Amino acid sequence: KNPRQNPIFISVQLHKKFDEENGANSAPQVQTKTTMTSNENNKNNGTTASNTTQPPSLFCSIGSPETSLSNETVQQKVNEFLSALGPRRDVLILPPDFTRFHSQAGMITRFVSEYYNFTKPENPTTSTANTAAAAASSSPSPPASVPKLQIIPALGTHAPMTHSQIDLMFGKELASKTNDPDVENPFVVHNWRDDVVTIGYAPATMVSEATYGMVHEPWPAQLNKLVWERRKDNHDASSSDLPPLVLSIGQVVPHEVMGMANFNKNLFVGVGGVEAINLSHFIGAVHGMEKLMGRGQNPLRSILNYASETFLQTNLDLWYILTVMGTNDKTGEVEIKGLYIGRDEECYNLACDLSLKVNFNLLEKSPKKMVVYLNEEYHSTWLGNKSIYRTRMAIDDGGELVVLAPSVEMFGEDGHIDELIRKVGYVGTPKIMEEMGKDEDLKNNLSAVA
């Protein structure tokens, strides 16, 4: 099949024997809930909806292995959600970068921008349909004034997005603002080495547990300074406006370091800092990819959840818009299987449940040979190593893995990480741990070690 229609990150190959031995099936089964909008919630409570009414903590939960959500449905749900939040003067969006092109986070970011009249609709037909849908419901109208809107792609350690990547992922209207001399560029490049602030710490006991006692130091919760500036106590309490809105948008999918990608990873890693990213990657590597992959709850995620509950939920008006992507069995096309909007762990857990259903392939027999094609999204071994992570729990002992990687041209996404990988090489855990003990530079760049 066309590899562009079946990107490797959509699924993890897993042999059934491995699955049984490591308990992947012990995760909760998919629970599909109906969507409850702010208006519906208020009706149930006998109150009247208004622009100042906060939506329920789980605003939208739609998804199942058989679900196929249209772009129009997604836009309608996003519009209903933003209407329920009420008008804002300051909106900060944290989508993934181009390595999550198929997440549809770019499209959802565009929907948010269009809702706030920051950009004009790229698809007038869709816009007309959604206007009609909004009029048919009791949802408030889009705001008349245009808020300040900024977008920080959650790069983590990845290379900055190019203009062509922004164009492809977020659309021409938003891309045109990156080089318009009359307007401020809404896109901000996250620098994980210099643009961050430490907002608190997770206890050393949690880190020690996750690393089997190898590391006993607190984990620093770090964020891009622009994100932390949006905290509520920086807002003018005398103003009638709601505090700045932070939207974290992305795809929940199996991840080799975090178990499942996105949710608070989008903040603490995607727009996090050197110390936090280095230690989190190292914790994941030490704990073991086979014990993490596809598990929404694990020691590393517990550390991030602690930081979320302690620092983010009390300080930011932060909401998550999460997708689950899967492949249509008949057409082979990637489609939206689930949409979850909320402000706490519940929407993430529901997305994880669905991802386990649609993003894992359980094989009856371990293949002797597997072939992986990496498309143009994979320009480094840092990213391309997913071809190994996503297959090695299925491939037979002594089997062969062939990786076709025409776009790979570097090792690390970050220049210094690339330099360290070239210096030491991919030499296996015992050797790399030995090298770390001798090399101070490696000790200070644990993500490279991982």
Q: Taking residues 37-53, what's their average pLDDT?
A: 39
CB 285 within 8 A of CB 449: yes
pLDDT for 241 equals 59
- What is the pLDDT at residue 449? 85
* 318 pLDDT higher than 90: yes
- 38 versus 266: the higher-pLDDT residue is 266
206-229: average pLDDT: 91
CA 341, 343, 346, 348 dihedral sign is positive
Average pLDDT over residues 1-24: 46
DSSP secondary structure letters along 370-398: EEEE--TT--BHHHHTHHHHTTTTTSPTT
Dihedral sign, Cα of residue 159, residue 375, residue 322, residue 311: negative
Residues in the chain: 450
In this predicted structure, which of 170-184, 185-199, 237-251, 322-336 has the lowest mean pLDDT? 237-251
Higher pLDDT pick, 212 / 266: 266
Averaged over 172-197, what is the pLDDT? 91
Q: Average pLDDT over the chain, rounded to whole?
A: 83
Please list, residue by residue across 60-89, b when 16 or more beta carbons sit within 10 angstroms of its beta carbon and e when fewer do.
bbbbeeebebeeebbbbbbbbbbbbbbbbb
Residue 54 has pLDDT above 80, yes or no: no
Q: What pLDDT shows up at residue 179? A: 84
Q: What is the pLDDT of residue 196?
A: 95
Per-residue pLDDT at 124: 61
Between 67 and 138, name the one with better pLDDT: 67
Please report which confidence band the pLDDT of residue 4 belongs to, taking 50, 70 and 90 as the band edges: very low
pLDDT of residue 26: 39
Ranges 143-157, 262-276, 411-425: which has the least confidence:
143-157
- What's the pLDDT at 1? 33
Q: Give the rounded percent of residues in the chain with a pLDDT score beyond 70.
A: 82
Position 271 pLDDT exceeds 70: yes
Q: What is the pLDDT of residues 286-310, one digit of tens each?
A: 888 888 888 899 989 999 999 999 9
Q: Specify the range with the lowest mean pLDDT, choosing from 44-48, 198-202, 397-401.
A: 44-48
Strands 58-63 and 334-342: antiparallel
Residues 117-150 pLDDT 10s: 999 898 765 544 444 444 444 445 556 578 899 9
Predicted confidence at residue 191, as pLDDT, reads 93
**16-20, 24-28, 434-438: which has the minimum mean pLDDT?**
24-28
* Residue 12, pLDDT score: 61
Assess whether pLDDT exceeds 90 at residue 18: no
